[in-house]
Amino acid sequence: MKASDRNWPMAADLYCEMHLEAARPAKRRWRDYLPGALVTAIAALAAAWLADHYAAPLVLMGLLIGLAMSFLSQDPRTHAGLDLMSQTALRIGIVLVGARITAGQFAELGPLPFALLVGIMLAVILITVASARLFRQDRHAALLAGGATAICGASAALALYSLIGDKRVDQARFTMTLVGITVASALAMTLYPILAAELALSDTQAGFLIGASIHDVAQAIGGGFSFSPQAGEVATIVKLTRVALLAPMLMLVGLWLARAGGGDAAKRRIPLRLPWFILGFLALAALNSLVALPRPAVDAANMAAQALLLLAIVATAMKARLHLLLDQGWRSFAPIVVATLTSFLLALAAVELM
């Protein structure tokens, strides 16, 4: 693996999105965001044109075009714009989705789906770690893959890696896990809505399946809306619940590593606050439940949310480094495959209980 790939600068936070730049300048000029923002906007417009002229799913077109243009993320000039589009646009879009959510939709889901979600998260991590010996893989690398799959993809892997450390999982393996998780999430976003339709799942069931099993936030929400608007709303609720579980999961992993000889892993402070975009989503949903929002305002929010989510999905796909997959043997991807299949099968089984 090339040195430039081994030292791919990245960072993460509890917002469940990864950054291409670990150390960003304290002050940016608007010109710094232009290259990445412009290529994302052009790709999104191309996706919209294809979806309109060929009756193809808009989100799927954005994902495929973004993956095809992923080579652009190797240019540092695009990093600021791609981070802006994949993070800020996504978060504002999620807040605006709250304009079409009401308390009644939360009540319709009931407590069972949320209990099942916690069970799925724990089972995915435990099964992935247990399978490591079968494929002759390190259990810490399996923990990284399982935790990232169970919560919110690449950024959960980055947050977990800050606890696990490079002494247990080297940088090359960590980068490979990031790429594998991103590709698995992209494939899941493409396939799961199709499988849900083939299985004749209802909108609620499809939304839960997609929101509970697709790794990254943008792809989970996009996959839900590619099935139907109602499925997208359910997928958003379920996926944001998974995001909220990141901090408790990090605490459990820190305790486990400390008991296993992790030393200072448990001493690291893990913030227990909810990300601002989840709070904004809940606030707008609460407002929509208490007051009948004007129809033009709801329509405008829906259009803006759809545009922002498309931009976020395109930028997220463009940040995937697909060429790194060729540098690793198939066994290295076994934990990711196990975690992805376990997550999907458990979510599908949970759907039958709803």
User: Phi/psi zone of residue 136: left (φ > 0), alpha (ψ -120 to 50 degrees), beta?
Assistant: left
Q: Are 246 and 152 in contact (CB under 8 A)?
A: yes
CA angle 289/279/152 to nearest 5° reads: 115
Please state the φ and ψ torsions of residue 19, each to the nearest 5 degrees.
-105, 140
Determine the Cα–Cα distance for residues 208 and 109; give it in Å rounded to an integer: 9
Beta strands in the chain (DSSP E): 11-12, 18-19
| CA nearest to 236, candidates 102, 44, 88 | 102
CA angle 3/324/346 to nearest 5° reads: 135
Candidate from 21-35, 125-139, 228-242 with smallest mean pLDDT: 21-35
For the chain, the average pLDDT equals 78
Determine the Cα–Cα distance for residues 280 and 110; give it in Å rounded to an integer: 22
- Evaluate if residue 245 carries a pLDDT over 80: no
Candidate from 11-15, 259-263, 288-292 with smallest mean pLDDT: 11-15
Quick: pLDDT tens for 155-212.
677 667 767 766 677 666 776 777 777 778 878 888 999 999 999 999 999 999 999 9
Quick: pLDDT tens for 106-158.
777 778 888 888 899 899 999 998 888 887 777 888 888 888 888 877 667 76
Quick: pLDDT tens for 263-286.
454 455 555 556 677 788 888 888
Higher pLDDT, 246 or 326: 246
What pLDDT was estimated at residue 343? 92
Q: Is the pTM of this model over 0.85?
A: no
Residue 59 neighbours by CB under 8 Å, 6+ apart: 189, 222, 223, 225, 226, 309, 310, 313
Candidate from 89-93, 99-103, 146-150, 281-285 with smallest mean pLDDT: 99-103
Determine the Cα–Cα distance for residues 220 and 316; give it in Å rounded to an integer: 12
What pLDDT was estimated at residue 345? 94
For residues 312-322, average pLDDT: 77
Quick: pLDDT tens for 1-25.
443 444 444 444 444 555 555 455 5
| CA nearest to 204, candidates 347, 338, 79, 95 | 347
